[in-house]
Amino acid sequence: MTVSISPISDALGAEANGVDLTRPLTQAEQDVLQQAVVENLVLVIRNQHLNPEQYLASVRLFGDTMPQHLTEMLMKDHPEIAVLDSRNAGADADGTVYTTGSRDWHTDHTNHAKPPKFTALYAITLPKSGGGDTGFANMRKAFDNLPPSRQAELSALQTINKIEDKAYVSAADKKKFGVLQSHPLIRTHPETGRKAIYIHPGKVAKIEGMSEEDSKGFVDNLMDQIIQPDVTYRHKWRIGDFVIWDNRAVVHLAHRDYDPTEGRVMQRVLVQGEAPR
C-alpha cells in the first residue's frame, strides 16, 4: 500500500496511512514521513504493533535518539525509552500525588543545550473509562497571529531554562541535567525558516533581564494569549498509536482527566535536536 498523508485538523497535524512500522520502509516512504512531520508538526500513525526494538528503529527514521531525565522511568534494557505509567504515579514534596500528565503546555527538555527536535509517544495501555488525551498547539501559527509589535517584543527575549525542582526529579538527574540553558523565546526552524514561540513554562527560571516574579507573570500572560482554539488539536489516543511531533514549533499538554489506577501507559523517545536559534 502506498503511504499517504491526510490532515487531521485545521490547526496542525496529519495522519499517515498505509504504514506498517514493523517492516522496512523504502527511502521514498521515509522521506514522505519525515517531510510530513516538518510540514504538519504532528504525525499520527495508527494501529502499530511494535516491540521495543521496532519502536526504537521507527523513531530513528527521524533522527538519533537522546538521553532523557526522569531516569527512574527508563526501560531497563532500552534506556532510550521512558515508560510513562500512571499506575506508578509519585508525589511532590508536599505529599500531593500527581497524575501522569502535564501541568502546563510546553515543549520538551528545554533544560538541554540541544533540546529534542522530535518527541515520539507510543500508546500501550489506555484508561477504560476514557480521558488522557494529548493537546497540541501550533506555535508558528500562534506567532503569526500576533501583531508585528508583539512579535518584535518577543523576538528580543531569551528564556533561562532549568530542570524542575520537583521530588520526582532525582538528585542525580538534577546534577547531570541541571545546568541553566539560555534559549530564544522565538526560534527559527532550521528546515523551514519559519519562526515559532518556543517555551516550557515549568522550566523557565526567568526571562533574561527580568526578575523571577516578573518572568512568571509574563509567561503566564503569554500562554493565556497564545493558546487559542484555532491553533490547537486534541488527540484522542487509541492503543497502537505512534505519534511524533516537532518540538521546535509545537507545545503539548497531556490532559489529566482520567483514573490513573486504570493505567495510562505510554512509551516516550526523544530525537536529538540542535541548539535553538
**Pairwise CA distance, residues 102 & 119, whole Å:** 14
**Pairwise CA distance, residues 166 & 90, whole Å:** 11
Residue 265: left if φ>0, alpha if ψ -120 to 50, beta else—which one? beta
Return the pLDDT at 213: 98
Q: Give the closest residue to 174 by CA, choosing from 65, 67, 273, 70.
A: 70
Res. 130: pLDDT tops 70: yes
Please state the φ and ψ torsions of residue 61, each to the nearest 5 degrees: -60, -20
User: Which stretches does DSSP call E strand in 20-175?
Assistant: 42-45, 82-85, 118-125, 134-138, 158-161
Mean pLDDT of all residues belonging to the chain: 94
Q: Give the closest residue to 150 by CA, choosing from 104, 186, 182, 199.
A: 186
Residue 263: left if φ>0, alpha if ψ -120 to 50, beta else—which one? left
Res. 71: pLDDT tops 90: no
pLDDT digits (tens, 9 = 90+) for 40-59: 999 999 999 999 999 999 99
Return the pLDDT at 169: 84
User: Could you give the residue ranges of the DSSP H alpha helices within 116-211?
Assistant: 139-145, 148-155, 171-177
**Pairwise CA distance, residues 193 & 23, whole Å:** 33
Beta bridge partners of 84: 266
Distance of CA 82 to the CA centre of its chain: 13
Res. 125: pLDDT tops 90: yes
pLDDT digits (tens, 9 = 90+) for 79-108: 999 999 999 876 666 666 666 666 799 999
65-85: average pLDDT:
93
Residue percentage of the chain with pLDDT more than 90: 87
**Pairwise CA distance, residues 264 & 230, whole Å:** 28
Return the pLDDT at 90: 64
**Pairwise CA distance, residues 270 & 50, whole Å:** 17
User: Max CA-CA distance within the chain?
Assistant: 56
Please state the φ and ψ torsions of residue 158, each to the nearest 5 degrees: -120, 140
- Could you identify the residue written with the cell 518577543? 154
Domain ranges for the chain: 4-271
Return the pLDDT at 2: 87
pLDDT digits (tens, 9 = 90+) for 140-196: 999 999 999 999 999 999 999 999 887 778 889 899 899 999 999 999 999 999 999
Return the pLDDT at 95: 62
Indicate the pTM of the whole model: 0.95
Residue 109: left if φ>0, alpha if ψ -120 to 50, beta else—which one? left
Q: Which CATH superfamily is domain 4-271 in?
A: Clavaminate synthase-like (3.60.130.10)
The helix/strand/coil state of 85 is strand
Residue percentage of the chain with pLDDT more than 70: 95
Q: Give the closest residue to 159 by CA, choosing from 228, 96, 216, 230.
A: 216
How far CA 125 is from CA of 27, 91, 244, in Å, comes to: 31, 22, 18
- Could you identify the residue written with the cell 486534541? 234
Terminal CA-CA length for the chain: 39
